[in-house]
Amino acid sequence: METIVDQQLPKFETRGRVTRINFNEQQVTREQEGTEPKTFWKYTTAVFPVTAPLRQRVNAIIRTAYPTDSDEARAADTHEYQSFVALADRLARESLGQTLSDEYLREARRCELQRERDARLMAMVYTFEDGAVVQVRPQDIANFQTAIASGIDRTWIMADNSVRMTTVAELQAAMADGVEQGQQIWDNYADQMAALNDGVE
């Protein structure tokens, strides 16, 4: 649930038999008629019994952003959903007073880097001179190779699902750009992983 208050809240609160986790803190200013603008703090708040075990706490936090926890909600943005699940696990452990080990934090970071890499790969596009945009994700490369090997111009489905006549030269340019983008993403991921592993004693 969303909580808006006129003062900052602690991350963890216990009220009677209920624990509240206030996260995603945002400071907002609201205009009020006849008075000066007032500052408020907005939180996402998860609520569960103080006796709740780890799994129940994680699920309660997830439901604050994904109330139905449905396949549709997860499919809407897999990277965002998976990142939120990781956040929920961390918050739930902290609410139980668990100390997060360096190994736990390193593994969480590794998973986040992997999700970021996959999200960037899935978002790869190429823009033709006329402004048409085509997807050039890793799974699209085989289609480009097959089309280019035929040596003939052909219709191609764009990122917005429109259909466009596309030349072999355009397909070659799109594929080459996709390969270059993918290599940059993988190189960046490799550098980040190397930096993460350098911190391991």
Digit-by-digit pLDDT tens for the chain (201 residues) are: 888 888 888 999 998 899 999 988 888 887 777 778 888 888 889 999 999 999 999 999 988 887 765 555 555 557 778 888 888 999 999 999 888 888 888 888 888 899 889 989 999 999 999 999 999 999 999 999 999 999 999 999 999 999 999 999 999 999 999 999 999 999 999 999 999 888 654
Pairing of strands 163-166, 154-157: antiparallel
* pLDDT for residue 39: 86
Tokens of 63: 């439901």
* One-letter identity of residue 196: L
Which pLDDT belongs to residue 68?
65
- pTM to 2 decimal places: 0.68
Residues 6+ apart with CB under 8 A from 193: 110, 113
Phi, psi for 162 (deg, rounded to 5): -75, 165
Cβ within 8 Å of residue 9, ≥6 positions away: 3, 22, 25, 41, 43
User: Beta 125-127 vs 133-135: how paired, if at all?
Assistant: antiparallel
Closest CA to 110 of 201, 190, 184: 190
State both tokens at 184. Answer: 């940059």
Residues 6+ apart with CB under 8 A from 185: 117, 120, 121, 124
Give the pLDDT of residue 86. 87
In this prediction, residue 7 carries a pLDDT of 83
In angstroms, the CA 14 to CA 50 distance is 7
Distance CA(172)–CA(148), nearest Å, equals: 7
The pLDDT assigned to 115 comes to 87
Closest CA to 175 of 156, 200, 197: 156
Are 174 and 183 spatial neighbours (Cβ–Cβ below 8 Å)? no
Enumerate the β-bridge partners of residue 165: 155
> Residue 94 corresponds to which tokens in the numbers above?
């902290």
Q: What is the pLDDT of residue 128?
A: 96
pLDDT at 201: 43
